[in-house]
Amino acid sequence: LDQVATVNPTVAGSIVQELADQRSNVKLIASENFSSLAVQLAQGNLFTDKYAEGAPGHRFYAGCDNVDTIEAHAADLAKQLFGAEHAYVQPHSGIDANLVAFLSILATRVENGIIERFGRKNASALTDAEWAELRSSVLNQKLLGMDYYSGGHLTHGYRFNVSARLFDARSYTVDPTTKLLDLDAVRAQVREVEPLILLAGYSAYTRLIDFAALREIADEVGAVLMVDMAHFAGLVAGKVFTGNYDPVAHAHVVTSTTHKTLRGPRGGMVLCTSEFADAVDKGCPTVLGGPLPHAIAAKAVAFTEALSPDFAGYASRIVENARTLADQLQQRKVDVLTGGTDNHIVLVDVAASYGLTGRQAESALRSVGLTLNRNSLPFDANGPWYTSGLRLGTPAVTTLGMGAEQITEIADVIATVLAAVKTDGSSKAKYELDEAVAAEARSRTSDLLRDFPLYP
Ligand code: PLP
């Protein structure tokens, strides 16, 4: 850090400040975690200087032997961890992984047939007219994904995202009353839409999804089942989601981030059946540029950690803690969506419980040392900026070693603070919180953190 400070004191100062910040607030952001120092150090090294476009053993640059070793090793570990036929570890993020997946499904199921029909070797050998036909075929494909307000991700066909421009994107929602996915309704929609891709997975949904049933539904119309397990990859790796609930066992293509429940570096990956392997391995140049070999090194370290027997215990404690959080909040009359959780996320309706927006609740809780994020709820009247909900997650506090006692204390602080927040209805952002209540809550959160220090 001294060397960074010599060159740029602002950056060094922010790193130190970020550590202080993460140490002095309880992290309940469902998409974040604390990766190990081994992961962090593996990522901060001289591999960052290497270009290695292509794939292991097939690079467009010289001197990639060590990158080859690391990338092939990381892919092998990912295959082993998830029982996948094929793994591609280059995506820089979850969004990149989804783009690589989309384009490899399009290549495998749409483009290759057209190229073959014209008797060409590859897309660049097509005439302009043939290329125009290929492009219009590609752009007419249907994607059926989970609606953003029901918990799906932006990349699952939300109109503000490239996915809705690349595809004729349709969405399925949760049931308006139960807020649960209704697979009979999804089946009916799949039969009607006949999508190229049926996309499952979520950023904000708390119940198990039967991926075996979804595969059967996809197979009825010959659709590709793609699952984005960005949020719950750690629960798959830790064998909490098994059998019908294991996406890798049932989907054609599975994408993920590596930094959420999986507790690795920021990054993404694609797992797939052998049918899609060739196209997925062409992620660079189809979507990606040069890989980030330092991030791939850190992914390999994280996969090794996740393969250890301890990780399964960690994954099940994440879910136990989330269940405790949901129970304890409900005992304090907080409205928890679907009445509980099967994963690491708890969704709370603060509009129904307290007449607050998510934005007001998020700010009030952050002011007492609890970091979590506001979140849209199904059919949310407050829109994606103010929202009616909060999304809480237990991966990070579980990494710190917190259990039922601490989670109960957190639930009590949350319910006490939210009950004390006052608004005058003139704004969806402004609120007031009694200073005595805030001070008491702050002291309770710092007591908790003193016993569970980050990187002690
Ligand atoms: N997919 C899902 C389901 C996510 O929740 C997220 C991130 O929040 C992503 C993809 C995108 O990941 P990244 O931010 O690494 O691009």
Q: Give the angle subtended at the CA of 353 by the CAs of 349 and 355, to the nearest 5°.
A: 95
- Give me 295's structure tokens: 């991030």
Active site residues: 51, 53, 228, 257, 260, 266
Ligand 1: nearest atom to the Cα of 96: 16
Torsional sign, CA 331, 335, 340, 341:
negative
Q: Which of 92, 99, 153, 258 to mutate to test the pocket of ligand 1 (most atoms within 8 A of CB)?
A: 153
- Give me 190's structure tokens: 């799949």
Torsional sign, CA 296, 272, 251, 142:
positive
Supply φ then ψ for residue 199, to 5 degrees: -110, 125
CA–centroid distance, 302 to ligand 1, in Å, is: 18
Residue 357 Cβ contacting ligand 1 at under 6 Å? no
**Contact of 448 with 411, CB cutoff 8 Å:** no
In 3-state terms, what secondary structure has residue 349?
strand
For strand 370-371 and strand 26-27, is the pairing parallel, antiparallel, or unpaired? Answer: parallel
**Contact of 291 with 74, CB cutoff 8 Å:** no
**Contact of 196 with 223, CB cutoff 8 Å:** yes
Residue 32 Cβ contacting ligand 1 at under 6 Å? no
Residue 230 Cβ contacting ligand 1 at under 6 Å? yes
In 3-state terms, what secondary structure has residue 154?
helix
- Give me 321's structure tokens: 């803690």
Tens of each residue's pLDDT in the chain, 456 residues: 899 999 999 999 999 999 999 999 999 999 999 999 999 999 999 999 999 999 999 999 999 999 999 999 999 999 999 999 999 999 999 999 999 999 999 999 999 999 999 999 999 999 999 999 999 999 989 999 999 999 999 999 999 999 999 999 999 999 999 999 999 999 999 999 999 999 999 999 999 999 999 999 999 999 999 999 999 999 999 999 999 999 999 999 999 999 999 999 999 999 999 999 999 999 999 999 999 999 999 999 999 999 999 999 999 999 999 999 999 999 999 999 999 999 999 999 999 999 999 999 999 999 999 999 999 999 999 999 999 999 999 999 999 999 999 999 999 999 999 999 999 988 999 999 999 999 999 999 999 999 999 998
Cα radius of gyration rounded to whole Å, the chain = 23
Within 8 A by CB and 6+ apart from 163, the residues are: 98, 102, 143, 145, 154, 155, 156, 157, 169
Is 313 a known ligand-binding residue? no
CB atoms within 10 A of CB 93: 16
Supply φ then ψ for residue 404, to 5 degrees: -55, -40
Torsional sign, CA 73, 75, 81, 85:
negative
